[in-house]
Amino acid sequence: MSHVQPSARRTLGARTRPRRAWPAAAALGLVTVASGCGAPGGEPDGGDTGGTGSGFAYGASQEEVDAALAELEPVTITYQPSAASAESIIGPNGTDIKEAIETRSGGKITVDVVWGQAIAGYAEIDDALADGRVDLAFTLPSYAPAEYPAFDSIGTAMATLPDSPVTGELVTNAAGVQAGWETPEVLAEYEEKDLVPLIPVLAGGGYSTMCSEPMTSLADWEGTQVRIGSAAASEQVQNLGGSPVSLSFPETYEALQRGTVDCDLGQLAPNVEAGTFEVAPHLGYTTDAGIARAAGAYVAGQTYRELPLAYQQVIFDSMSTAFSTMMEVVIGAKAVAVEDALAGGGSVEAFDPEVQQAIAEHAGRLTAETAESAGVPGVPDRLTQAAEVWQTRVDELGYREDGDFAELPDWYPTDADYDELGQALFDEVMGPHRPE
């Protein structure tokens, strides 16, 4: 299980126990595919990908899975997660999925994890998946809103959901997965690119500001140069009086160090890994509606369609692990971020009420406009309804807040895991799209 380990500096370690479920998360790419596989095909809902041979029932015993795979030739798939290395704070997004797939397949599937986007960056990953250089990957369709307008509408609408360090993340991510599967236009966007969504929309971590000086009031935002990662975030920054700067993430540290930008607006996990708090130690966050997210997805390529059905099922089933591991990583990283900010002489403060009100009001307008422009006006209500469902499920499963964001390292459990939520999400939302 991925943990937030208590130490002088908290870290996220590798799992020390087998998973209950076998879902899939981000992957690198199938480099060797068994011959004689089925022809490419599949419906936009992801439920029919043309795999040949017999499969196995979800929840089957390992003996039954082994029997279903017994006559199949071993394969190697290439998986590209978002992490720079296995030792990265987000490394479990790669290692946990590799373990889940290889264990469930009895070693018949070898997962070759390619770190650091060595095969293709986010701008090229769709092509790499479609042409077989990568078989499975964590992608960021939100970086191409013109190509993924329906997807972008869900990421934008996530800003209207309540924000909090634990339950808010869980609800927003689960609701995003459900809304993704329930929006045919999102699935069609993948189909047009010959891609197979495994988790069509994944919110990832909430957005915060990391600044060289504290920035909590509206006056603080005025004229501030803020690095952003999405068109929606750009509009939100302008609405608060700031100046959005489009800058690739690897360039952000140096830009903050030189004073080219004053803040980064982004997720905390990659910023912990990048050492951002060394140059921007003042962390600001929302407690109600949040910042529009650059949402991601777990997507398979053309070679996935050509795999035997049973192999497709092993990979798809590992998505429960993909979801729960992502939650462990992004929430655990928040505790590390708080420690890093304070250790760097910075601060951890919620935005002033007038800032949060402005964010919430603009998020509502932007959400409606984005959905209408994308031709999916029902997305905001669909996401809100899904969030209500998953708020209830999160409460039933016993997940809760035991303090506020600034004290997160003091109260967040070091053995936190979200396997039960990942399993519930698979059973109730993802399961119907399982290859059969």
Q: Under CATH, what is the fold of the domain 28-433?
A: D-Maltodextrin-Binding Protein; domain 2 (3.40.190)
How high does pLDDT run on average in the chain? 88
Write the DSSP string, 253-280.
Answer: HHHHHHTS-SEEEEEHHHHHHHTGGGT-
pLDDT (0 to 100) of residue 16: 33
| Nearest partner of 92 among 173, 25, 174, 20, judged by Cα | 25
Rounded to whole angstroms, how far apart are CA atoms 173 and 124?
25
Residue 227 has pLDDT above 60, yes or no: yes
How many distinct helices (H) and strands (E) make up the chain? 17, 12
Q: Which residue has the higher pLDDT, 50 or 5?
A: 50
β-pairing, 296-300 with 109-113? unpaired
Q: Which residue has the higher pLDDT, 18 or 329?
A: 329
| Dihedral angle computed from the Cα positions of residues 153, 154, 156 and 159, in that order, rounded to the nearest 10 degrees | 150
pLDDT (0 to 100) of residue 162: 85
User: Is residue 366 a contact partner of residue 380, using CB atoms and an 8 Å limit?
Assistant: no
> Confidence class of residue 163 from pLDDT cuts 50, 70 and 90?
confident
Name the residue ranges covered by the structural domains of the chain.
Answer: 28-433
pLDDT (0 to 100) of residue 414: 79
150 Cα distance to chain centroid: 17
pLDDT (0 to 100) of residue 249: 83
User: Is residue 263 a contact partner of residue 280, using CB atoms and an 8 Å limit?
Assistant: yes
Q: What is the value of pTM for the model shown?
A: 0.87
| 146-161 residue pLDDT tens | 999 999 999 999 999 9
Q: The tokens of 416 are what?
A: 């936190």
